[in-house]
């Protein structure tokens, strides 16, 4: 299905009936990865998932987006398509968790006026805790800045415009290298924001599901979120990484079903 939100063509899925459950995917991902969760929950819930701007089959944003921009996009999507919904639950993976943390805390604190309440949230291998940089990462950043300064001051960038792009790809993450220029800027904006200060305002029941081998958002992030969110509970799936819902869908759905009342 397709709709237009703020001038962007947005691809989304709408299945099932019952209380509304909105799924938000992670960086570099799309709604297709949620098929197992959708099939599991749609018998009891009205499940909606959208490819956020810049991902899947949705248009890229015209300007870089930060977490607030993605929050505003989700709110605009809901207002456009589901204006009469009074209660909406959210499930987010990785970056989708970032959006949920900021959205729900803003609704709770009154920073955002919403026509709906959020009774429950599910955060799966969620992002939001700013990682502590290692010595190796700091050293790599210094090398990048040195070479960037060198090619800029010597005029190499003007003579060979692709040099800076190649340098950024070499020293950036895999996600950064794979992204378009506007999405690279978005990635930098998103990952550099620490959402820990907002977590105490996530006061509704929050289920945290984590893979113990997650290296992208390590288990320690989930443990910290559990401490910061007043009504959070952490469920750990052993032997899986950042995509716990794909790597062990049976156990994941069992945990999710217990929280959502699905037999």
Alpha carbons 177 and 167: distance in angstroms, whole number: 10
Query: Which pLDDT score, from 0 to 100, does residue 77 have?
Result: 97
Confidence of residue 146 (pLDDT cuts 50, 70, 90): low
Mean pLDDT calculated for residue range 11-31: 97
Please state, in angstroms and rounded to a whole number, the distance separating the CA atoms of residues 167 and 145: 10
pLDDT score at 263: 84
**For residue 251, pLDDT beyond 80:** yes
CB atoms near residue 49 (< 10 Å)? 26
Those residues with Cβ within 8 angstroms of residue 256's Cβ, 6 or more apart along the chain or in another chain: 37, 40, 41, 91, 122, 207, 209, 262
Q: What is the pLDDT of residues 114-131, one digit of tens each?
A: 889 999 999 999 999 987
pLDDT of residue 130: 86
Tokens 């290296």 locate to 215
Cβ proximity of 171 and 143 under 8 Å? yes
For residues 15-25, give the mean pLDDT: 98
Residue 163's pLDDT is: 66
Residue 202, sorted as left (phi over 0), alpha (psi -120 to 50) or beta, turns out to be beta
Using a pLDDT cut of 70, give the percent of the chain over it. Answer: 83
3-state helix/strand/coil string of 117-130: ECCCEEEECCCCCC
Go through the domains of the chain in sequence order and give each one's CATH number: 2-130+194-260 (3.40.50.1820), 135-188 (no CATH)
Question: What is the average pLDDT across 89-107?
Answer: 96
Listed residue (39, 55, 59, 57) closest to 47, CA to CA: 39
pLDDT-derived band at 102, boundaries 50, 70, 90: very high
Is the per-residue pLDDT at 171 higher than 60? Answer: no
Is 187 or 236 the better-scoring residue by pLDDT? 236
Which residues have a Cβ under 8 Å from the Cβ of 128 and sit 6 or more positions away? 97, 98, 101, 194, 195, 196, 199, 221, 225
What is the average pLDDT score of the chain? Answer: 89
- Biggest CA pair distance of the chain: 66
Per-residue pLDDT tens digits for 225-246: 999 999 999 999 999 999 999 9
Residue 164: partners with Cβ closer than 8 Å, 6 or more residues away: 148, 151, 152, 157
Report, as an integer, the average pLDDT of 20-36.
97
pLDDT of residue 70: 97
Q: Taking the model in full, what pTM does it have?
A: 0.86
Residue 167 has a pLDDT of: 47
């Amino acid at each position: 299905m397709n709709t237009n939100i703020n001038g962007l063509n947005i691809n989304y899925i709408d299945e099932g009936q019952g209380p509304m459950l909105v799924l938000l995917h992670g960086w570099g991902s799309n709604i297709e990865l949620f098929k197992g969760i959708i099939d599991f929950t749609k018998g009891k819930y009205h499940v909606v998932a959208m490819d956020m701007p810049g991902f899947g089959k949705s248009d890229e944003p015209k300007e870089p987006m930060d977490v607030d921009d993605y929050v505003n996009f989700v709110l605009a999507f809901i207002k456009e398509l589901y204006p009469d919904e009074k209660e909406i639950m959210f499930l987010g993976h990785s970056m989708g968790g970032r959006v949920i943390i900021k959205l729900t805390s803003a609704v709770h604190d009154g920073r955002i006026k919403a026509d709906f309440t959020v009774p429950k949230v599910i955060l799966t291998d969620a992002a939001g805790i700013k990682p502590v940089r290692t010595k190796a990462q700091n050293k790599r950043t210094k090398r990048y800045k040195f070479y960037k300064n060198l090619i800029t001051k010597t005029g190499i960038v003007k003579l060979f415009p692709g040099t800076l792009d190649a340098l950024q790809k070499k020293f950036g993450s895999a996600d950064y290298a794979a992204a378009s220029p506007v999405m690279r800027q978005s990635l930098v904006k998103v990952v550099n924001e620490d959402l820990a200060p907002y977590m105490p305002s996530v006061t509704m029941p929050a289920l945290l599901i984590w893979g113990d081998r997650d290296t992208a958002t390590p288990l320690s992030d989930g443990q910290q979120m559990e401490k910061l969110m007043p009504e959070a509970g952490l469920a750990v799936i052993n032997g899986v990484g950042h995509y716990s819902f794909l790597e062990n869908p049976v156990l994941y759905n069992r945990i999710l079903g217990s929280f959502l009342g699905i037999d």
